[in-house]
Structures are given as C-alpha cells and as structure tokens.
Structure 1
Amino acid sequence: MAPPPVVTGISPKEGPPGTRITIRGEFLGTQVQDLVGLTICGCDCLLSAEWKSPNKIIARSGPCKGRGDIIVTTRSGGQGTSTVQFRGYHETIGPMKESAVWVEEAPSFVWGRRALSPTNYQQEDPLGLSVEGNEKKFPEDELMELFGSDVSGELTSDKFHPGMFLLQNHHATSLEDLKAGLAYLRRKVNSQKEGQLSFLKANVGSVMEQLDTIVLLKDQFETDVKNCPENPMDKLESAIKESMTEANKLFDDVLARRDRADATRNALAVMQRYKFLFCMPVNIEKNIKNGNYDLVINDYARVKNLFKNTEVDVFKKVLREIEYRIETLREVLRKKLEEVPFTLDEQKKIIRHLINLEADGDPAWDAIVSHANYLEKSIKSCTNEYLDSDSRDDDYRGGLTIKSNASTPMSIKQFKLTKSDENNVPSRVQCIEALCDIMLEQLPDLWRLGQSYFTGQLHVTIDNEKQGPFKNFVLSNIQHAVDAMSNVCESNLEAPWLLHSLRCIRHMYVSLIHLDLPSDALDLFESFIFDLRTQCLVAIFKQAADNILLLGRKENWQIEYLDDTGGITKLPSLFEQMTIEASKLARETAVECGHREGSLLVDPGQQSLYYDAIKSLFSSFARCLQQLAFSGTDDNFDDEMTTESHFAGTQTASYRMRDSKMHGPTWEQCLLISLSNIRYTLSDVLPRVEESLKKQGYPDLSSSIGYNSDWTELETLDTAVLDAYLERRCDPLIGTIEPNMYLGDLDWSWNLPPMHMKPYAQEIISNVIGVHAEVRRVSPCLLSRVLSHIVENIAEELARLMTCVNSKFSPSGIIQARLDILMLRKILASFSTPKAKNFFDEALKAVPPPVAKEDAERIDILMTKVTSRMKLQIISLQDDFEDDTTSSKVDSDHTTVV
C-alpha cells in the first residue's frame, strides 16, 4: 500500500473557473490508471486532469468560488491531503471589457420605473464613481484576515460590509473623490426621501415641456379626427406597428449577432466540456505514432465508461472514429506480436494491450505460436546460411593445393584456440555458436511465456488442453536444434573446434537446465552432448596420434643417457608427454561429467573406442620410429631425392644422414639409437603411460582384450631394426673372413713356425671391437644382443672354413689354426652363446690335434704370448669392463652427438 497523496504546491494560486492549474506534491499516483479522484475547492475536476508523474498533475478548476483545498485520491494511496489552498472567483464583465459573453445593457435607476432587462453582471457604483480600468485588486488574503469569512463586499449580499466594499472597489481612489462620492450618495438618498413633489419641483421645466407636448398631441389628434372621419386608431396602430417593425430592423443585426454569439458560446462550452472526447481520435493517432499505447488504452477505457450508452449523434460519430482507430491499433499490435523477436516483457506488454483493447481470439496463445514458429524458422535459416557458406568455401578450397611447410608437427597446445584462430572460425563452428545463441535468446522466452499463460499471469482464460501442443512446440524446436548441431558436428571438424563447440553447447545446456524444462527436452540435449563428448574424445586422441606420427621432424639424433644401460633421444619423452597431455585434455573436456550429464567410458562400446584410440597412439609412435630407423636405406634415399616425401618442405632425416659424414650419425648409428628408443619405450615409457592413464580415472588397459598385442608392433619393429643393423654390420664382417684368411696365398700345409695370430683373426677381433665400441657408445645394454649374433656368425663361418680346408694340415698349420680358433674363442667368450661355442668346437674338430706334445705346449706358450700382447683388445671386449677414460657416458644434464 502506497502512502496517501500530499499536495505541496500549486500554480497559480487563484483564478476564475477553467483556470489551468499545475499541482505538485508527492505520491500523486504511480501511473495514469492510479489517479481516481481530484477535487479543487470542492469541485470534481478529474475529467480535465492530466497525470504527468508521481509529483505533477495538470487540471482545470471548476465553477468554484472562494478558498478551498486540492484533494487528490489514488487507488494505491487513497484520499490525500493538501498544504496549500486555491481561491476561485467570478470576474465582473462590463460593456467595455472584451469578453465572449453577451452583456446586457446596464439598468437605469429612473424614479418609479424598473429596468426592462435587469442584469446580474454590472451594477452602477453607488458613489457615482467609475470603476473601469481598476484592474488592480486588493489582496483577498488580507481582506479575509481583516474581516473574516462571514462578511462580503457585494451590494446585494445579506452580509454586506461597506469597509470590504471600499477596499475591494476603491482602495486606490483618492480622498477627494470619495468625498464627492459621499455627497452624490447623500443627494441621491435625500431626493428619494422628498417624494414626488420634491421631484416635480426639481424637474418643473421638464414637466411643463411634457404637458405642452401632450396638449399639442391632443390638438393634433382632434384635428386629425375632424379631417379623417374614419377611426384614427387603426391608422395609428398600423403606424405603431410599422414603427416597431422598422425599429426591430434596426436591431436585427445586433440580435442575430447575439444569437450567433449565444450559439457559439454554447458550442464552445460543449466542446470545452467534452474536449477530451473530441480530441480523442487525434490523440490516438499521435500516441500510436509515438508508441504510447498505455495512454491510448487508458483514454479508450475512459471514453467507453462515459459514452458507451450515449444517444447523441455527434458523440456516436466521434465514437465510430475512435473505434476505427482502435481497430487499427489492434492490427498494429497483432503484427508486432507476429514479427518477433521481442523480449518477454515486451511480448507480455503487447498481449496485455490486446486484452485491454478487447481483441478477438486468444492473443497470448497466438504469441506462443508465433514465437515457436519464429524459433523454428531461425534454426533453419541459420543452418542454411552457414552451411551454404561452408560449401562455397569448400568449392573454393577444392581448386587449391595446400602444402604444409611447417618444420615441426602440431603441438598438443594447439588444442587451445589462439586469437588468430578465433578470427578465422570455420563456418560450421560459427553455425554451432549461432544456434546456441538462438536457443539461449529465444527458447527461455518461449518457455516463460508458456508458463505465464498456463499460470494465469497473462489475464486470459486458461485452456489446459493446449499444454500438449505447447510441449510439442518446445520439444520439436529442441529436436530441430539438436539435429542441426549433429549434422554440423558430424563433419570433419578438427579437435580444437570440436572442443570449442562442446563448450558452447554445454554453456547453453546449463542455462536451459535452470529453466526447469521437462526432462524429455533436457534428455535430447543430454544424449547429443554425450555423443559429442565421445566424438571429442576420439578426435583428441586422433589429433594426438597424427602429431605423434610427425614427431620425426623433431628428431635431431642427440642422445641423453639416463643410466648405464643406454641412452635415448628426446623422442620417447615427447611421445610420453604428448600422450599424457592429450589424456589430460580429454579428461578435462570430454570425460568429466558436467551438470546433468552421463558418465563416459562406462559401457563396453565406449571403452572399446577408448582402447582403439590409445592403440592408435602406440601405432603412430611405432610408425614414426620405423620411418626414422629405415629412412637411411639406399632405396628410400633415392626415392626421397626424386619425389616429394612425407616430410616435404623440411630437411629429411635420411638426407641429413646421407649428407652428415662430418655433421651427423651414420645410418648404422641411427639404427642403434632407434633400437635404444624402442627398448626404452617398451620398458619404461609405456608402463608409465599406463599408470598415468589409470590415475586419471581411465579404464585399465590391462583389462582390454588384446592389450598385450598392442605392443607387438613395437616388438616386431625392435626385431626388424636389430636385423637391419646386424645386416649392415655382420654381413660385411663375415664376408671379409675368407678373403683375409687366404690373403697372401695362405696354405695350411706350410711349415712356417707360427709367431702370432693370423691377420684374418686379428681383423675379426678389430671388427668386433669396432662394433662393440659403436654399440657401447650408444647403448651398452644392447652389447649382448648385437655381439652375440655377430659372434655366432663368426664361429659358424670359422667352422665352415675349417671344415672346407682342402689341403692337409702341417704341424705348423695345426698349431696356427688351433691358436687362431682358441684365441678367438677366448677373446669372444663374453659374447659367445652355446650355439657359438658349438661352432667353435666344430672348428677345432675340423683341425687335427697336435702331432707331438711339444706342439701342444707350443700352442699354450703362443696363447700366453698373444694374450699378453692383446691385453687391451681382450679387456675392451669384457662385458663388465668400465673405464672412465673410454666411457662415453655424460652427466644427465648434458647430451652428446654420436
């Protein structure tokens, strides 16, 4: 309940009836409809009131007289009070004062006669003084203070007081004039007291003239009777009538003007009284043009209440004009309601206007239908606009050959959009953003409008049968939006844009959840978001797999020793880092559940997708290592020099190796580095990746069917790389044994005394030491795997050669052959496998035993002598040998180039 109105100021403070008064105060109403009453000095002035604001009202005074309060009554605050008063008075209009009122002639106070047309407008001043031009009035407030409200200055009033009369009419008259007026009043009173005799004495001349005239008329009448025997009275009567007719002709124009003035005055009075009605059509057009529909509706309601049952033709004609304009307003509001979009408040306002204007049909339901149709149209037009734009862009891009000249693969950080990316948003992503904006802007208003309709807030008759169609409107529009978004997301969008779209859709989904939409509607979005999260998960790992496949561009063949077992490059660490970052990103964006979202990776189908995505990471890294390991073959090199390779635009790994005799590693060294990387990945990186994924809450990889087979590709690659290295190192070494053995026409039947191992055996030791040094420098843990294969091949070749000796062994030949075989077996014992030892035994069996005891002793002496001379070679091939002077191990904070 608002406070009661209070009037604190008026302007002007006094005036005649019809004075335009500005009323100021507080709590004068919150709107036009809130003002229900206005009285000025006891007269009802509500019809002429114009409400401007809670502090201002403009009205015209009624036919009041005297002082009185201004009382404002509002619907919210009730009847108010006034701290000021207004004084109403009636102006005295004389013959010389301009006025639209016809003024009768002033009465003449002739003795013994009454005025023919008495008037209430003007009385002759009793003092005989003129009051024309005396516009300055004595302040009414002071008169009231002096005499009170019980006396009056009017001559005809019963409460006449001469002092108030003088102050009202002669307060500016001089004392001499007042004395003259007093003398005039005395003479006038005395003359009335003397009677007719005194009057005759005072006017004896005039009386005598009148008697002479009457005598003259009598004589003339008698003469006329003699001359005219007929009755002279008829002639006189006709003459009098004729004179009266002529006299009336003299005043016809004046009387006609008087009649016209009376008619005009009456018409003006009617127009002034019903000015509100006659100005209503013009005001309606003006307010419609300015958008002031509330004023139009308020005025229309007042007109309907006042003149709905009128029988006056003029009023009926005006009412027809008003109805025509009101119908125009109804059509305007209906069109505005169909145009959309408007805010919810504007829609409710238009609906309220139509209801107040008594529009046909159900404006509220029409608004709901229009809003639903507009939402559906917006979704379709948005989809068509952006998809058409995207197809045009595809056509344009189809005529171009785009080549990437990036020297490094995409980093996982590129999953986060940069400012340049935000300025080049694909059309499909813009479509997703636009659809989300449309749903956020229009669907809440549609839903709230429907809720307002069914809860009775729109002041219409509630039709519960329409709840079903309304729900269908909401569900169908949501389904349209979901289908459009699904079509866009099913296209080949990159992972960053998919994540961006997921964020936009999730933001929209959370906002719609707060609307308390039915679960059927929210389930549509929840199912779509679940599928999109799965798509984002797969896209993130696919993007990571593609980036891992391009890691070869970052390989510079710098090795870092982690421990004594061997060294690796930064490639396995990059693989591990990118895998973990991709899993974290997928966890934060897709796997983690938002508000009212289902858990991902729960059902077997989702887990299968996850296992396949992780497997693709392992496979990509295996292919990357394979490309690096075998990029130095002659065939690949020739192809890369003539065709555009996978690493187009960059200096390929093979080209660096072929042109790196002075700057980079050989292909054999690259094979060893790749082999070390593979073993480190299998033994350390993959278990750490598995543990990290498990800590992040992903399904356990060990529970996946065929999980161990996921690593088979790396195992197979490990074997292939090892075979390639052995082929590069072992085959040339074995191939040189036989030529070197028979270099210089060696013949085992000669009797030259042996002094040392033959050159072929020394070269075998030197070649093995070279391989040993090469492998140890890269990865000591590979020594046993590499050298065991080489020693087996050496022992096998040695057994073959000894078995195939055609000549007969001489005693010296026996000593030399057995010395060579025994020393080789002794020096290579650290890397001899049982198979190699069997081959060495076969070689010894192929050589006859010493003929004499001295020959056997000679062999022992020579072995001791050779062992002493080849101590350094023997020590260098010891598996547990460690020497700080020959070790290539460096601190963990440094790297060395092979």
Structure 2
Amino acid sequence: MVDQACDVLTTAFPDLWYLIQLYIKRKLYPLSERSEEIDRTYMHKAPEFLALTKEIIQTFVSVVRLNLLSRLTTTKSDMTPTQDDELYANADETYQRVKTLPHCVQNCRLCILRLVSLDIQVDFKKDLQELMFDLRLECFKVIMDHACLEVSRLNTQETWELEYDEQLGSHTKLPNLFHDMVVTKANIINENVLSANVIKGERKFFEDKEATKQAAIAVYRLLGDFASVFQMLIKDCSSSTSNSIEPLSSSTIMINSSEHLSKTMCLVIILNNFAYTRRFILPRLKKLFLNYGFRGMDRVYDETEIIYKRVDEQLLDTVQNEYLRPFLHRLESRMYAGRFDWATHIRVISVKDYVKHIILDLARVHAEIYSISSQLVFIVLSCILSTLVNELAKLYSNINQFSKAGSMQACLDLIALQECLGRCMETETSNKLKELITQIPDAAEHIKSKALTDMLNLFLKQMQPYSIAFRDVTPQ
C-alpha cells in the first residue's frame, strides 16, 4: 500500500503540479486574443488547485502514518515489568517490521524528497518533512527493538570455543558476537535513519530532543540486555549437576561443548567473558555511538555501569559459592578427623591434614582459573579465603579448651595457612587471620618456639610444589 502510494506520487504528482502551474499562469492552452475566451478556458481558480493539492498530500500522509506509524511505542524508562515483557513477547511482529520498514522508509524518503523539491506550499513541505522525520524515528526504534531481541537471545549462541587474548586471557566468541551485531545494526541505522539531506530540508536526527532521548534509552536497553545474557548463562550453568572441581586436562584446548567442561570452568569463562566485555567491548561501542553522533553517552554509560557492577558481583558471588561448597562441606569434618580433640591433644607432629587439603584444593582452583585468566586468580581466591577465614574463626571460637599441644597445633595450622596463602588474601582477611592466631592460648610463646618453626619450615618445603603458584598472585 505504502509503496504503491509512493510510486504514484513520485511519478504522477510532479507532472500534475507542473500542469497546475501552467494552468494558473494561463499557459496551458494556446492564447486567445479575446479575454472572454481566456476566462472560459481558465475557469478554475488557484484556491481550488491548492485544495486539491492539499487533499492529495494529506491522503498520502494519512496512508503512510496508518500503515507505518500505527504501533504504540513505549520507552523503557516508562515501562512496567508487564509492558517490558510484552515488548519481547511481540518478537514476531518486530522481526517482520524490521524486514520491511527500512525499505518502506527509503521509498517514502525518495518520494518526499521529490515532492519537497517542487515549489509547493511551505505548509505542505512542513507536513511532509515532519512525516519523514517520524518515519526515521520509527525506523530507529524498530531496528533497536530488533537488536535488543537478538542480543537478549545470544546466550543460545554460546559455543564455549575459547580464544586467547594476551591482555585478558581466554574468552569465547560471545562478546565479539555482541560487538559485531551492534556494529551491523548501527550501520543499518546510519544508512536508513541518521543520514540526512539537509539541503532539501531534512533535519539532522540528533538535533531533535525526542530522538536523542529515544537513542539514549535504546543504547541503555541494548547494553543492559547483554548483561542479562550473562545472568542467563550463569543460571543455566548453576543448574548443571556436574562436579565443582574436575580434572583440568581439557582446559587449554579448543572446546565446542559445555559438556566437556566442569561447572566451575564454565562459570569462570562466563566471568572472564564479562570482564572482557566491560574492559574492551563497551568502550569500543561507546566510540562507535559517538562517531555516529549519539548524544548523552556518558550518562548512559554511567547508568549502565551500575547494572554491570551489580551483575559482576552476582557472577563473582556465584563462582565463589560454587568453589566454596566443597571447602565448607568438608572443613569441620577434616579438622576433627580421627576424633581429634584440642583439649586432649598431647603431641604436635606436623600441620594437620585439613590445612593441607585447603592448600591443595586452592592450588587446583588456582590452576583452573589461571588456565582462563590470570587476572581473575586473586579476585576469586581472595573471596574464597575471606569466607574460609571467617569460617575458621567460627570453628575456633567454639573450642572451649586447649591443651598445651592443642594450642601449639592451632598456631602451627593457622601460621601455615598464613605463610602459604597470605599473598592471595585481602589485607582485611590477612589481619583477621593474624588476630585469630593471637587469640590462641600461649600463642606468643608458641610462635617463638624452635619446635614450631622447624615443623613450619618442613611443611613449607613439602608443600612448595603446590604453594609456589601462589607466590605470583597479586591484586589486579
């Protein structure tokens, strides 16, 4: 319908307009010498043709608006959750419109540019130019709606194939897939919406306040939807029934299915993908938007950063909890293995096994995380150790009595943890562990004893193959 209207007006209206002008100027027919014959020939007056022209243009404007601008659009800032759901529920409509609307807009644009090039009334030109701008704005909204839909479903396109980046370690194709998708949509928007023929009266898109506002809202939605993709991936991963820590033999090769990955490995990959997105993809897209003239991007990115920080905390919390589960489940049982009793312990031989298990398990966690990204090692390990130290503090606070050997054993165990894992701790965690040591009865005496020092040095030497990895762990 719209294409037909455009074709008719583009081909027929200019000729009609020229004929009307000739008629009004009384140059359409051969001149007669007698004025009464001229008057009979040119009976119609200019206002009649003006009304005819107005009716044609208004009919065209109505047809276009009815067919292309009939949808009620809602901005995300004004949405209720139900309306937001409805936006994504109408996916079929959005997919259909994004296929046809840019083509229709271009046809209308060519038609309107042809009409406004004629010497028609200023009011008519204004109506046509207003229609054209509304079409461009609608086209922008539809393309961005489609982009948001595509982005919100990117979790289904995660292949788990790892690519290596020198700065941020291994990540999958997902962040770059998002980047390329946005670049493609931005190019389509630039071609169909942003380019303007100013000479023929088209307004620059971002000189309009409503357009600027809608663009900012659309970018905010787009970036926010990609953050939600990571939440969906984490949810899918967390529902897996695989073990938390598995052999790491597949961690350094190309992987094409999450079935070959441990749950924790998948979670770390998701976390690193998110870090890669924040550090590299978002700044690139901001530069892209600015190059295309988008305004208010600093504010949009400030608001987006709030979302991304919250999601980052959720991702890190999920990764931490997944790693922590086996630690917390076994900590107390390992501490009291063999019916150990702090009050009746009579001889200190070495660091207890529960400490060795903590160090060995953390070495495995370190290896798994390091295989993806060295920059995540301290972040994750420090979170795990913070919780572990808090749990140890609770367990030690429940001990009612220490024998002499029992208090030395406690000092030896905690100092061994401090020596092996201190570089992986936040300052607050390290200080809390040191404070816990000082609360052990006769701690000062035990710390100075040669027996404790000798056992500690022997333990550190034995654990060196495992603890050596922790020496290079530094805060990022």
> Would the alpha carbon gap of residues 853 and 701 (structure 1) be closer, same or farther in structure 2, given more than 3 Å must change?
closer
Q: What are the superposed Cα offsets for residues 750-772 of structure 1, whole Å, 9 maximum, x if unpaired?
A: 45543321111111111211221
Q: Secondary structure at the match of 1:461?
A: helix
Tell me the distance in 2 between the aligned counterparts of 1:550 and 1:674. Answer: 15
Q: Which amino acid aligns with 2:439?
A: A
Pick one of 196, 210, 215 that aligns with 1:605: 210
Given that 1:799 and 1:842 are in contact with CA atoms closer than 8 Å, whether structure 2 keeps it comes out as no
1:761 and 2:355 are equivalent in the alignment: yes
Alignment of 1:546 with 2:117, yes or no, is no
What residue is the counterpart of 2:245 in the other structure? none
From 440, 450, 458, the equivalent of 2:29 is 458
Residue in structure 1 matched with residue 226 of structure 2 by the alignment:
621
Q: Which has the higher helix share?
A: 2
For 1:636-715, what aligned pairs fall within 5 Å after superposition? 657=258, 660=259, 664-702=260-298, 704=299, 707-715=301-309
Find the counterpart in structure 2 of residue 121 from structure 1.
none
Residue 773 of structure 1 aligns with an amino acid whose one-letter code is A
The separation in 1 between residues aligned to 2:18 and 2:147, in whole angstroms, is 44
State the secondary structure of the residue aligned to 2:471: coil
C-alpha distance in 2 between matches for 1:826 and 1:519 = 83
Q: Classify 1:858/1:683 alpha carbon distance in 2 versus 1 (closer, same or farther; 3 Å).
A: same
- Which of 373, 379, 388 lines up with 1:785 in the alignment? 379
- Cα distance 1:457–1:850, how it changes in 2: closer, same or farther (>3 A)? closer
Q: 2:330 aligns with which of 729, 736, 739?
A: 736
Counterpart for residue 860 of structure 1: 453
User: Following the alignment from structure 1 to structure 2, what is the Cα–Cα distance between the partners of residues 538 and 565?
Assistant: 35
Q: CA deviation at 1:485?
A: 0.9
Structure 1 distance, partners of 2:378, 2:43, is 87
| Structure 1 pair 619–464 and aligned structure 2 pair: CA distance change class (3 A) | farther
1:151-190 alignment, distance < 5 Å: none
Q: CA deviation at 1:858?
A: 0.2
Asked whether the 8 Å contact 1:628–1:674 carries over to 2, the reply is: yes
State the match for 1:120 in structure 2: none
SS of residue in 1 equivalent to 2:176:
helix
Give the corresponding residue for 1:473. Answer: 52
Q: Cα distance, 1:880 vs. partner?
A: 4.5
Amino acid at match of 1:438: V
Q: CA deviation at 1:573?
A: 0.9
Residue 399 of structure 2 aligns to which amino acid in structure 1? V
Letter in 2 for 1:758: K
Deviations 1:816-857 (A, max 9, x none): 221111110111111122322233223323322269789811
Q: Which residue of structure 2 aligns with residue 588 of structure 1?
A: 191
Equivalence for 1:438: 8
1:700 CA displacement = 4.5
Query: Which deviations, in whole Å up to 9, do the C-alpha atoms of 1:411-430 show, x marking residues without a partner?
Result: xxxxxxxxxxxxxxxxxxxx
In the aligned structure 1, how far is the partner of 2:65 from the partner of 2:296? 31
* Corresponding residue to 1:447 among 7, 17, 28: 17
1:805 is paired with a residue whose SS is coil
Distance 2:425 2:97 in 1: 55
Cα separation, 2, equivalents of 1:579 and 1:854:
60
Over 3 Å counting, the alpha-carbon distance change for 1:854 and 1:507 in structure 2 is closer
Counterpart position of 1:203: none
Residue in 2 that maps onto 1:571: 174
SS of the residue 1:494 aligns to: helix
Assess if the C-alpha contact under 8 Å between 2:264 and 2:322 holds in 1: yes
In 1: Cα distance, 2:295 partner to 2:439 partner: 61
Tell me: CA distance 1:512–1:868, structure 2 relative to 1, closer, same or farther (3 Å).
same
- The DSSP-based 3-state class of the residue aligned with 2:45 is helix
Of 404, 410, 428, the match for 1:835: 428
SS of residue paired to 2:414:
helix
Do the aligned partners of 1:784 and 1:831 also contact (CA within 8 Å) in 2? yes
Distance (whole Å) between structure 1 residues aligned to residue 116 and residue 306 of structure 2: 48
In the aligned structure 2, how far is the partner of 1:754 from the partner of 1:715? Answer: 47
* 1:802 equivalent in alignment to 2:396: yes
SS of 2:112's equivalent in the other structure is helix
Map of 1:124-203 to 2, 5 A cutoff? Answer: none
Question: Residues 507, 805 of structure 1: CA spacing in aligned structure 2 closer, same or farther, 3 A cutoff?
Answer: same
Match of 1:213 in 2: none
Q: Which amino acid aligns with 1:528?
A: L
Matching residue's letter, 2:21:
Q
Per-residue CA deviations over 1:477-529 (Å, capped at 9, x if unaligned) read 11111101110002456123111001111222233345433333332221111
Size of the alignment, in residue pairs? 424
Whole-Å separation in 1 of the counterparts to 2:314 and 2:437: 33
Separation of aligned partners in 2, 1:776 and 1:450: 79
- Deviation of 1:735 after TM superposition, in Å, equals 2.8
Three-state SS of the structure 2 residue aligned to 1:531 is helix
Looking at structure 2, the residues matched to 834 and 447 of structure 1 have their Cα atoms a distance apart, in angstroms, of: 82
| Cα drift, residue 720 of structure 1 | 0.7
Structure 2 counterpart of 1:694, one-letter code: L
Query: Does the 8 Å CA contact 1:803/1:843 hold for their aligned counterparts?
Result: no
CA–CA separation in structure 1 for the residues paired with 2:444 and 2:261:
51
Distance 1:565 1:599, change over 3 A: closer
Alignment-derived partner of residue 114 in structure 2: 511
Whole-Å separation in 2 of the counterparts to 1:608 and 1:823: 59
Q: Distance in 2 between matches of 1:532 and 1:831?
A: 57
Specify the SS of the correspondent of 1:755.
coil
Q: TM-score, normalised by structure 2?
A: 0.83
Is the 2:411–2:447 contact (alpha carbons within 8 Å) kept by the matching residues of 1?
no
1:362-419 Cα shifts (integer Å, max 9, x gaps):
xxxxxxxxxxxxxxxxxxxxxxxxxxxxxxxxxxxxxxxxxxxxxxxxxxxxxxxxxx
Q: Secondary structure at the match of 2:281?
A: helix
1:520 equivalenced with 2:123 (yes/no): yes
Q: Which amino acid aligns with 1:453?
A: Y
Q: Is the 8 A contact 1:478 1:521 kept in 2?
A: yes
Cα separation, 2, equivalents of 1:465 and 1:875: 100
Amino acid at match of 2:353: P
Contact map agreement 1:809 1:847 (CA 8 A) in 2: no
State the structure with bigger RCO (CA 8 A, min sep 6), 1 or 2: 2
CA separation in 1, counterparts of 2:184 and 2:321? Answer: 38
**How far apart are residue 570 of structure 1 and its match?**
1.1
SS at match of 1:567: strand
Q: Which amino acid aligns with 1:458?
A: Y
Show the counterpart of 1:641: none
Three-state SS of the structure 1 residue aligned to 2:119 is: coil
Match of 1:699, SS?
A: coil
- The question of 1:772 aligning with 2:366 is answered yes
SS of match in other structure, 2:449: helix
Q: CA deviation at 1:547?
A: 1.1
**Partner amino acid for 1:457?**
L
Matched, 1:536 2:122: no
Residues 69, 135 of structure 2: 8 Å contact kept: no
In structure 1, the residue corresponding to 2:163 is in which secondary structure? Answer: strand
* Superposed displacement of residue 680, structure 1: 1.8
Say yes or no: does 1:822 pair with 2:425. Answer: no
**Corresponding letter in the other structure for 2:60:** A
- In the alignment, residue 226 of structure 2 is paired with which amino acid? F
Larger radius of gyration: 1
Q: Where in structure 1 are there 5+ consecutive unaligned residues?
A: 1-430, 638-655, 882-898
Match for 2:288: what amino acid? S
What is the SS of the residue equivalent to 2:293?
A: coil
Aligned counterparts, 1:39-188, within 5 A = none
Task: Measure the CA separation in 2 of the matches of 1:552 and 1:785.
Answer: 25
1:751/1:813 contact within 8 Å kept:
yes
